[in-house]
Amino acid sequence: MANFDEQYRDLVRALLRDGVEEVNQRTGHATRALPGMTLTVPDVAAAFPLLTLRSIPIKLFVAEQIWFLTGERMPEPFLTQFTHIWSDFANLGGVVSAAYGYRWRRHFHRDQLADLVTLLERDPSSRHGVVTAWDPATDGLASGVPRKNVPCPHTFTVNIIGGRLHMHNIVRSNDVLLGLPHDVAGFCLLQQILAARLGVPAGKYTHSIAHAHIYDLHYRAAEILAEREPQHPPITLTVPADAFARGSAGDPTLVVALADQLAAQYHPQPAIKGLKIVL
């Protein structure tokens, strides 16, 4: 199976070649889009999927994922030590109403991540390890009003098969140039944190996208990436057994340790400047 960089490049090529160009009503931007696209990392423990076709800010996705573990929905004070990526989604009170970690750990009057750990400790063969961030009472169909703060990776399932922890992530919409590399790395980090907590190796990660797209202002960058050849050796990440507890407590030293470990192995191809997120 092709490695992550190769699969990512092939997806970019497919969007440039076969993507249907339409204007998105909410953003006003044209996109080239394809439905039902899937990328797979066969062994996260052996090859962590950190995109090397261009430079990715490592500390950003690591800090974000640890913030999710805290279950908080205010970027201040923890997340803003490292990045302001969620500040544009906060309301005047500094709250991100649909923050993933809050949805996973508090919003539905239960801690889904803690329940997941308990379930798989009790029954490693369980097929009920589903965690959701989507609230049908307020999101999507129910809202009636377009919103920029709606979960994109909305549901993931964790299974232990063959003594390894596997994750399947379902994504309703993915900005392939900016969002996808960030999301895959972040969720594979979560997968390894859960695996370490349960004392098993991380296995396969599957990233299924309902609506994969490239925005018009990223077309040129996509063309550059489509021409690059993957050439980076595998990157590995060792996650401490207490990472789940430390992350849940908002330990900033965990962010630094994990980011430094990845950065020491990371030698990406040149950065592509001027990539702007579309909100």
pLDDT of residue 143: 55
- Top pLDDT among 277 and 230 is at 230
Kindly indicate whether the domain formed by 4-263 is annotated with CATH number 3.30.300.30: no
- Top pLDDT among 78 and 140 is at 78
Asked if residue 53 lies in contact with residue 5, where contact means CB atoms within 8 angstroms, the answer is: yes
**Residue 195 burial (CB count, 10 A):** 25
pTM confidence score: 0.96
pLDDT of residue 145: 66
For 140-188, write each residue's pLDDT tens digit. 886 566 666 899 999 999 999 999 999 999 999 999 999 999 999 999 9
Tokens of 194: 């859960």
- Top pLDDT among 90 and 29 is at 29
Provide DSSP, 169-199: EEES-EETTTHHHHHHHHHHHHHHHHHHHHT
Asked if residue 21 lies in contact with residue 222, where contact means CB atoms within 8 angstroms, the answer is: no
For 36-65, write each residue's pLDDT tens digit. 999 999 999 999 999 999 999 999 999 999
